[in-house]
């Protein structure tokens, strides 16, 4: 076999173009997409969540890989904020029902916020203390559960009977303080 001579261009090693890495100063850090990204972040900081969602969604299809996930995170955060702002309740009972739905979906932080909001508006809302006791039982916060349930029972003794048959207090049944709270008549 004879080897054919290669041209000078063919014998040069081809290197791929450099890839922008997160944190590196690439041309995207100063380009129009990055400028739009910064403007969208400012909208978030100003609390203009709906406009920010639109801005991030516009950027997403052309965004470089280093900001795609950030855009998605901001979109999700903004949607949550828009949803929260859109909530309005006619009664504290409606707000309580919403908090219970949050507990059922595992959003314990927002459920806590809603229940505490009820108590801010009405410190005698025994059902909100009861809801907090349930939430604290589910999340393993024993002392908080006992404190909230004590408040609920002091405000409305019927809560003691309700708690006796409530399966959400299952994690508390072995705690003697819980038994004492629910069955004070026992020696």
Residue 5 lies in a domain: no
The distance of Cα 32 from the centroid of its chain, to the nearest Å, equals 31
Tally of domains in the chain: 2
> Rounded to an integer, what distance in angstroms lies between the CA atom of residue 82 and that of residue 50?
7
pLDDT at position 30, please? 61
CATH assignment of the domain containing 152:
1.25.40.10
User: What percentage of residues in the chain have a pLDDT greater than 70?
Assistant: 82
Q: Per the confidence metrics, is the pTM higher than 0.75?
A: no
Considering the domain architecture, whether residues 35 and 103 belong to the same structural domain is answered as no
Q: Find the domain containing 157 and state its range.
A: 92-182
Residue 109 lies in a domain: yes
Q: Which of 63, 85, 107 is the last residue of a domain?
A: 85
Residue 130 lies in a domain: yes
Considering the domain architecture, whether residues 97 and 75 belong to the same structural domain is answered as no
Residue 157 lies in a domain: yes
Contact 119, 103 (CB under 8 A): no
Q: What one-character DSSP code corresponds to residue 2?
A: -
Considering the domain architecture, whether residues 81 and 97 belong to the same structural domain is answered as no
Considering the domain architecture, whether residues 55 and 115 belong to the same structural domain is answered as no
Considering the domain architecture, whether residues 58 and 102 belong to the same structural domain is answered as no
Mean pLDDT, to the nearest integer, of 93-102? Answer: 90
Q: Minimum mean pLDDT among 20-29, 74-83, 127-136: which range?
A: 20-29
Mutual angle of helices 126-138 and 92-105, in 10-degree steps: 10
Residue 23 lies in a domain: no
Mean pLDDT, to the nearest integer, of 23-31? Answer: 49
Mean pLDDT, to the nearest integer, of 67-83? Answer: 85
Considering the domain architecture, whether residues 56 and 112 belong to the same structural domain is answered as no
Question: Residue 10 pLDDT > 60, yes or no?
Answer: no
Band of residue 105 on the pLDDT scale cut at 50, 70, 90: confident
pLDDT at position 49, please? 83
Tens-place pLDDT, residues 34-59: 899 999 999 988 888 889 889 999 99
Pick 160 or 8 by higher pLDDT.
160
Q: What one-character DSSP code corresponds to residue 51?
A: H
Considering the domain architecture, whether residues 69 and 130 belong to the same structural domain is answered as no
Cα radius of gyration (the chain): 29
Considering the domain architecture, whether residues 34 and 108 belong to the same structural domain is answered as no
Mean pLDDT, to the nearest integer, of 151-178? Answer: 95
């Amino acid at each position: 076999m004879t080897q054919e001579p290669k041209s000078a261009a063919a014998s040069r090693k081809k290197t791929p173009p450099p890839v922008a890495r997160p944190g590196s100063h690439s041309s995207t850090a100063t380009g129009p997409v990055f400028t739009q990204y910064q403007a969208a972040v400012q909208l978030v900081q100003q609390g203009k969540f709906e406009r920010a969602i639109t801005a991030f969604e516009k950027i997403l299809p052309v965004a470089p890989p280093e900001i795609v996930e950030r855009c998605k995170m901001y979109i999700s955060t903004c949607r949550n904020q828009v949803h929260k702002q859109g909530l309005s309740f006619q009664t504290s009972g409606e707000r309580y029902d919403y908090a219970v739905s949050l507990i059922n979906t595992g959003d314990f932080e927002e459920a806590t916020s809603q229940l505490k909001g009820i108590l801010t508006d009405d410190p005698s809302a025994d059902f909100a203390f009861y809801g907090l006791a349930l939430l604290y039982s589910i999340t393993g916060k024993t002392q908080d559960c006992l404190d909230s349930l004590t408040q609920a029972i002091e405000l409305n003794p019927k809560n003691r009977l309700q708690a006796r048959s409530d399966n959400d207090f299952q994690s508390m049944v072995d705690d003697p303080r819980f038994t004492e709270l629910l069955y004070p008549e026992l020696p």
